[in-house]
Amino acid sequence: MCIKIRPAKLSDFGPAHQLDRISFGVDAWSVMDYACVFSVHSVKKFTALVDEKFAGFAAAEYDPERKAACLMTIAVDPEYRQRGIGSALLKHCEDAFPGKHFYLNVDSENQAAIKLYEKAGYRQTGSEPAYYLNGHDAIIMEK
């Protein structure tokens, strides 16, 4: 299995949006949200490929108000999870903003993602009750 991470291309728009829908259900982003992510140059976007096939996507942006970079989204195709691809995508996002503080929101019931972030050195710094449309709280994590 050959895993590669590269900057996302416009042709990744469809697969990335589809992966978002299967990964986040009612909290998935709209097509318009994805159009913004793909059209705004300051958003750094990465695609994971397994044997040249789309396998994951992540995006991050610098937030000048918080003077920190925000991990906007990250998802791996269910077929390829737990093989290090999420960690590799996260690392590429971090490396796109060298030396910057990072923050993110994660569903308080999403243990896989929370463990991924903890393993990468993120720690909980806050929470937002009922932040998600599914009714779950958000945990704010920072590194």
Complete DSSP assignment for 22-67:
HHHGGGPPPHHHHHHHHH-TTSEEEEEEETTEEEEEEEEEEETTTT
Query: At closest approach, how far in Å is the CB of 60 from ligand COA?
Result: 12
Q: Contact 138/127 with Cβ under 8 angstroms?
A: yes
Query: At closest approach, how far in Å is the CB of 119 from ligand COA?
Result: 5
Total site size for ligand COA, rule CB under 6 A = 19
74 sits near ligand COA (criterion: CB under 6 A): yes
116 sits near ligand COA (criterion: CB under 6 A): yes
43 sits near ligand COA (criterion: CB under 6 A): no
Pick the piece of the chain touching ligand COA (CB under 6 A) from 3-11, 25-33, 34-42, 115-123: 115-123
Three-state secondary structure call for residue 19: helix
Of 39 and 111, which has the nearer Cβ to ligand COA?
A: 111
Which burial class, exposed, middle or buried, applies to 122 when counting CB atoms under 10 A from its CB (0-12, 13-18, 19+)?
buried
111 sits near ligand COA (criterion: CB under 6 A): yes
Query: At closest approach, how far in Å is the CB of 99 from ligand COA?
Result: 23
112 sits near ligand COA (criterion: CB under 6 A): yes
Q: Which positions ≥6 away from 75 have C-beta within 8 Å?
A: 19, 20, 23, 24, 56, 57, 58
Q: Contact residues for ligand COA (CB under 6 A)? A: 23, 74-76, 81-87, 106, 110-113, 115-116, 119
